[in-house]
Amino acid sequence: MKICITGGAGFIGSSIADKYIELGHEVVVIDNLSLGFKSNIPKEAKFYEMDINDKNIIDVFQEEKFDVVTHFAAQMSVRHSVASPSNDALTNIMGGINIFDSASKSGVKKIIFASSAGTVYGEQNEFPCTETHQNLPVSPYGVSKFAEEKYLQYYHTVFGLNYTIFRYTNVYGPRQNPFGEAGVIAIFALKMLKNEDTYLTGFGKITRDYVFIEDVVAANVLALSPEITGIFNIATAIETDLDYIYDSLAKLTHYNKEKVYIAEKIGEQKRSVCSSAKFQKLTGWQPKTFLPEGLPKTVEFYKSLVQK
């Protein structure tokens, strides 16, 4: 298959690009390198350095004739979205529309879209929550991801564009950008290895559901099948607080600084844990790597960065 990966220079997109190439697919990456790195893009992939809002994207789509588009390019900081809801909407909503519209007009058969289980539901009243939970996001980022889902469903309903929407909980693992504001495991791991100050928002009690990158890659391989259509949480259904993440990483990195607690920021959800029973029932997918195994693998990656 010929697959376009937007955001393919980033953490998740490039990990999936590697796997798709290993499986024999032809991969084309579109990324503006605002957060991703050229070195992440597999050398076998063709690369367009472009913004997803570029009006010439349609020309690329018409020339390349992709079978599938996996859409990862996004503004993904909750805090930035609170500071500038319009900038968040410009990338996530307007950029998403540009990608879906170009796909629909150029004969793309399927879109696989990266949505966010940690934000599209808002504060949960069901633990773990399923895909039918109400959607009351507490951040502009959650709103923009949910809006993007709705635009994609419009292109499906009216123009027949097939789709899989994956609502990921917190994805972590080697290659996650530790310099951004999202990805607490990457941020803590690098800061602890460099013996820098860290702080725990929500007084350490904020909870998340952490899913390992290899399990996310496996889900994206299954999603290439045209029968896998709909909205699916990709999650572990295990709720973990920030204190546990901090303590585990401090142990792995021999970090001894005193814990500093602060209140949660606006837009930060207090609890998040989701069920992926729907996807598991349809495909047999199961999360295979849990924090006790995934955290050491992740720390090893950042150790190699620090040593460079």
Residues forming the site for ligand NAD (CB under 6 A):
7, 9-13, 31-36, 51-53, 72-74, 76, 91, 95, 114, 116, 168, 170-171, 177, 183
Of 161, 121, 11, nearest to 74 (Cα)? Answer: 11
For residue 139, the minimal CB distance to ligand NAD (Å) is 12
Phi, psi dihedrals of residue 281, rounded to the nearest 5°: -65, -40
Q: With respect to ligand NAD, which residue has the nearer C-beta, 173 or 204?
A: 173
Min CB(49)–ligand NAD separation in Å: 9
Distance CA 236, CA 276 (A): 7
Question: 76 vs 193, which CB is nearer to ligand NAD?
Answer: 76
**Alpha-carbon distances, residue 214 vs 17, 97, 149, 163, 249 (angstroms):** 12, 28, 24, 22, 20
- Identify which of residues 33 and 82 has a Cβ nearer to ligand NAD in the complex: 33
Cβ 258 to ligand NAD shortest distance, Å: 28
21 Ramachandran zone, left/alpha/beta (phi>0; psi -120 to 50): alpha
C-alpha pair distances (Å), 155 with each of 108, 148, 217, 279: 11, 11, 25, 22
For ligand NAD, the closer of residues 72 and 285 by Cβ is 72
Distances, alpha carbon 95 to alpha carbons 99, 111, 114, 139, in Å: 6, 14, 13, 19
Q: CA 133, CA 122: separation in Å to the nearest integer? A: 9
Q: How far is the CB of 266 from ligand NAD (least distance, A)?
A: 19
**Count of C-beta atoms within a 10 Å radius of residue 18:** 18
List 20, 121, 141, 168, catalytic entry = 141
Q: In the complex, what is the shortest distance from the CB of residue 115 to ligand NAD, in angstroms, rounded to a whole number?
A: 6
Nearer to ligand NAD among residue 73 and residue 258 (C-beta): 73
CB of 181 or CB of 259, closer to ligand NAD:
181
* Nearest Cα to Cα of residue 112 among 1, 6, 243: 6
Told to judge if 141 belongs to the known catalytic residues of this protein, a careful annotator would answer yes
Where would I find the beta strands (DSSP E) of the chain?
Answer: 2-6, 26-31, 46-49, 68-71, 110-116, 162-168, 170-172, 207-208, 210-212, 230-234, 240-241
Q: How far is the CB of 113 from ligand NAD (least distance, A)?
A: 8
Measured in Å, how far apart are the chain's first and last C-alpha atoms?
Answer: 37
**Residue positions annotated with a catalytic role:** 141
